[in-house]
Structures are given as structure tokens and as C-alpha cells.
Amino acid sequence: MTHLQAGLCPETIEKARLELNENLDTLHQDIQQVRDMVITRPDIGFLRTDDAFILRFLRARKCNQMETFKLLAQYFQYRQQNLDMFKSFKADDPGIKRALMDGFPGVLENLDQYGRKILILFASNWDQSRNYFVDILRAILLSLEVLIEDPELQINGFTLIIDWSNFSFKQASKLTPTILKLAIEGLQDSFPARFGGIHFVNQPWYIHALYTIIKPFLKDKTRKRIFLHGNNLNSLHQLIFPECLPSEFGGTLPPYDMGTWARTLLGPDYNDETEYTHTYNALHVKQVLGNSARDCSPKHMKRSQSVVEPGTLKHKERDDENTQPLLALD
């Protein structure tokens, strides 16, 4: 079973042992016991049950076999219940492609200080149609499907930053309970990703109001990992070091190139002016993810559409209201 830990650095293997209860001696048995539970849910079509696939679910649930099977079942059940979302689940689907080219999600090439992949969303870029919000969700789920193939990310997980600058009240009013529930079920309840933190930046007051809508659907663990920073960069940088962030978030990296992740999924010949119809190449994606070098040449640079310019966010010594996790709003 050592092949299931192939490619992992010793530090990550040790982290999996300590934090996720991953035991190489019992890993085969753990996987098989989860697989044996499949027959208990004949109503669900389990389209994939190989070792590597089940392992990512085990890691997402700290090798608890029963919780792992629940997540595995929810993963396929969510797809059965939302067939339209997954009918054309590929990067060249027009809706997904539009979302990717608009930067949904943004995926930084570097990791944070804990080895987590950093995803960013600039909320002001969302339009007000329900279909586009669903396409954004589809693009995020597709991106996570690609990223979760990396065993390091299965263990280290992800962190998400949402910049709410210029997100209008009218836009917020379109985020109905039905749409929010769809997103929460897809990301929190049905996907084997470990999110170490969800960070809100420049959130207006009505985002607090939205919390009262989504709170019943959030697990306590999720609520504790959501933080509102307002315009307080100090609190953000205490949790994600500046050297891991682009300048939009007060980091030391160049401004985020909105085409970075879209090019990764659509292929090496992607550009902002040309339409493409091919899906992502898995080998190409693997090569790009493994390359830490950033190409900031003008022909590849498309600035993020965030209205936040370097220095706009304020450094504050203390802002008790904005640095509290959303759970503190109880």
C-alpha cells in the first residue's frame, strides 16, 4: 500500500499520521471496509470506488470509516440530485469557461505557510443571474476536482479568500437561500476537501445579514473557520503570511493574473482573445501545478478585476468586530 503515499514528502506523511489518523499498516483495510459499505446504498450510483479515490475521502474525514462512507455517498448523491450541473462538467463548457475566465476561482500558484492551496474570489465580478452563480459553483467544483488529485492537498487542504469590495446590496439580494444551500451542500457536505480557513475581506454590513440565512446549513466546524477581516490586513496576515499573498491583499507577490487558472485548465495555448473548445489536459495540469515559477510577462498578465489596489486595505492594530469568526455573531 506504500504506492498510496507515493510522492508525499516525509513531513506530509507524518502530518497525515498525526492529524488524520492515517496508518499505513491498516490503510488497505480501511479502504476496503469503506468500499464494502457501498452495497448498503443501492439507491446511489457509486461510479468510482478505487483505492486512490476512496483514500481522499478517508483523509477528508480523518480515517473515520463511517464518516468517510457518508461523505462518499453524499458526493455521488449530490451529483445525482443536480444532474444539470454535471451534464457538461468540463472546462470548455461555455458557462464554466466564462466563470474561469472571469477568475472564478482564482488559484494561486504558491501555497500558504501550512502547505494549503489558496483560492481567491473577487465577489464584485459576479453578475446577478442565477445561472451564472451556478456556473461559478460548477467552476469551483471542477477546479477542486483537479486540485484534489494532488495527495499533498488531500492532506494539507485549502484556504479561501473572498474579497467583497464593491459587492452591491442588489447583488447580495440575488443570493437566495436555495442558491446558498446548493453551494453549501456541494462544498461543505459533498466534497472531500479540507478547508483550513475561509476569509472575508472588505465585507459590507449585508454580508453579515447573509450569515443568518446560511447559518442553519453550516456545521459548527465550518463556522469556526470563517473569519471577517473587514479592511484589517493585520488579522488576515496573522493567518496567511504576506509572502503568500498577491498585492491586492497586502501581500508581497505581484497582482493576481486572472487568466492563470483558466490557462491551466484550458491548455497552454489559452489567451484572452481566442475561444477554445478543448478540455484540460491532466498531464499539463500536473506540470503546471508542480511548477512554482510565476510568469509575469506582459503578454500573460491580466490584472485581477478587484477594485482593491495595494495599500487600500488598512493596517490596524486591533479591530475586534472584524477579526472575529462569524461564529462570534451568535
Q: What mean pLDDT is reported for the chain? A: 83
| pLDDT, tens digit (0-9, with 9 covering 90-100), for 111-133 | 999 999 999 999 988 876 668 89
- Cα distance between residue 204 and residue 243, in whole Å: 27
- Cα distance between residue 208 and residue 36, in whole Å: 43
Answer yes or no: is pLDDT of 303 > 50.
Answer: no
β partners of residue 195: 158
pLDDT of residue 2: 65
- Cα distance between residue 225 and residue 153, in whole Å: 18
- Stated length of the chain: 330
Share of the chain above pLDDT 70, in %: 79
SS3 194: coil
Give all domains of the chain, ordered by start, each with its CATH number.
2-81 (1.10.8.20), 88-329 (3.40.525.10)
Q: All 3 cell numbers of residue 245?
A: 499573498
Answer yes or no: is pLDDT of 306 > 70.
Answer: no
| pLDDT, tens digit (0-9, with 9 covering 90-100), for 161-182 | 999 999 999 888 888 888 888 9
Burial 12-24 (b: 16+ CB within 10 A, else e): beebbeeebebee
